[in-house]
Amino acid sequence: MSLFEVRHQPRAHRLVQRAMEGRRFPHAYLFAGPEGVGRELFAQRLARLLLCDEPASRESVETEGLADWSGAVADACGKCQSCRLCMSGSHPDLHVISRDLIKQHPDPTVRGRMGLDLSIDVIRTFVIDEVGHKPVMGRAKFFIVREADLMSRSAQNALLKTLEEPPATTFLILITRSVDTLLPTTRSRCQVVPFGMLPTAFVADEIVRRLPEMSGEAAEWYAEIADGSLGTALHLIEFDLQSHRDGVSGLLSGLTRTAPTALAKKLIDTAKKIGEEFRKRDKDLSDTEAQRRGLRLMFVLLASLFRGALRKATESGGRFEAVTGAIAAVRTAESQLKLNTNVTLTVESLLIQLGRLARR
């Protein structure tokens, strides 16, 4: 349960240890980086360290970025009451803020809303009002804001004063994919901590460590397509993406012979099946959104198949222009999906394009 379980994030570790050494902690952090690389885990462990009654000091630690660290390193003790409460997820001074808190809002009209963004109602009630109260256990109050990039403009503006002059005992960590998605005024009031992609080999090892029944080959496949994100890899495993690999690959081999509309239908049918799995986990999901999520996974699969083809073409001196064209086409279709365009049309036009490239 150590801070150092978060691996391959050297900059985050150095910044925190430097702050511990100087006993000067910024009150607002912005953890910026891709999903599934340890941002939230690091935030949780950092909160535990700052809330711990007796932080432990270790001579050295084997982790990236601290190999040449000369002083002692700090970590939570893991034994005090505060640490135990953090571990059980019930520390009264550790607040995890996410957009679905809207369903717990005291106002029934607000509760009825969808919560697609991180609204001002959630920020006001669960952060700003909370900041005004003293810590329950005396030491500090900690707020971890998930998906901070989804904070509406008004939510960010409402939060400014808290970010600017937080009470001495209040700490905030905003978790975001990229710093650019936040207003400059929000950004400038936080210390930015960049998080990077994880090495593929590490992701594969982690998968096997967590899921010992999985074969090394499958773990490597997932690590490869997850592109340096352990979270993404585990997500794809949950939806058993590999089981669709051969089907989709077979579909692509029919590109020159079969009508694109027929292929599109097959692809959408598979996406629907995966979409049903999404629905089992989130009953509030609409049909369209479930299908969209399924399709997003199909695109991940397509992109990975084309990347594999690109590798082969480059090695054998084959026609890699067609393959790079295909990768670009998948990327375009992916971004169209985000723009709420008609799903069937998007997939059909993708397959028409892929068919043309295959015939070249």
Nearer to Zn ion, 51 or 302 (CB): 51
CA pair distance 142, 29, nearest whole angstrom: 11
Classify each residue of 269-302 as buried b or exposed e, where b means 16 or more C-beta atoms within 10 Å of its C-beta: ebbeebbeebbeeeeebeeeebbbbbbbbbbbbb
User: Taking the complex as a whole, how short is the minimal distance between the CB of residue 133 and Zn ion, in angstroms?
Assistant: 23
Number of other CB atoms surrounding residue 340 within 10 Å:
10
Pattern 4-43, binding to Zn ion, x per CB under 5 A? ----------------------------------------
On the 0-12 / 13-18 / 19+ scale of CB atoms within 10 A, 19 is middle
For Zn ion, give the closer residue by CB, 47 or 150.
47
Of residues 49 and 96, the one with the C-beta less far from Zn ion: 49
Count residues contacting Zn ion (CB under 5 A)? 5
Q: Which is nearer to Zn ion, 2 or 152 (CB)?
A: 2
Rounded Cα–Cα distance for residues 278 and 178 (Å): 26
Which lies closer to Zn ion via its Cβ, residue 92 or residue 250? 92
Closest contact distance (angstroms) between CB of 76 and Zn ion is 5
125 vs 25: CA distance, rounded Å: 25
CB of 6 to Zn ion, least distance (A): 18
As a whole number of angstroms, the distance between CA 327 and CA 271 comes to: 19
Return d(Cα 225, Cα 304) in angstroms, integer.
6
CB of 79 to Zn ion, least distance (A): 6
Task: Tell me how far, at minimum, the Cβ of 288 lies from Zn ion, in Å.
Answer: 47
Tokens of 145: 């804001």
Nearer to Zn ion, 83 or 354 (CB): 83
Q: CB-wise, 91 or 105, nearer to Zn ion?
A: 91
Is position 52 an interface residue for Zn ion (rule: CB under 5 A)?
yes
**CB closer to Zn ion out of 76 and 274:** 76
Print the binding letters for residues 58-77 with Zn ion: x by CB under 5 A, - otherwise.
------------------xx
Q: At its nearest, how many Å lie between Zn ion and the CB of residue 78?
A: 6
Nearest Cα neighbor of 197 from 166, 224, 165 is 224
Q: What is the rounded distance in angstroms from the CA atom of residue 306 to the CA atom of residue 333? A: 14
The rounded distance, in Å, linking the Cα atoms of 277 and 239 is 7
Which two three-digit tokens encode residue 256? 């020159």
Cβ proximity to Zn ion, 53 vs 117, nearer residue: 53
Q: How far is CA 58 from the centre of its chain?
A: 30
Q: How far is the CB of 341 from Zn ion (least distance, A)?
A: 51
CA distance 333 to 160: 37
- Taking the complex as a whole, the smallest distance from the CB of residue 273 to Zn ion amounts, in Å, to 46
Q: Which of residues 75-104 bind Zn ion (CB under 5 A)?
A: 76-77, 80, 83
Residues in the chain: 360
To the nearest whole angstrom, how small is the minimum distance from the Cβ of residue 144 to Zn ion?
18
Considering only 45-53, 93-101, 260-268, 296-304, which stretch makes contact with Zn ion by CB under 5 A? 45-53
Which residues sit at the interface with Zn ion, rule CB under 5 A? Answer: 52, 76-77, 80, 83
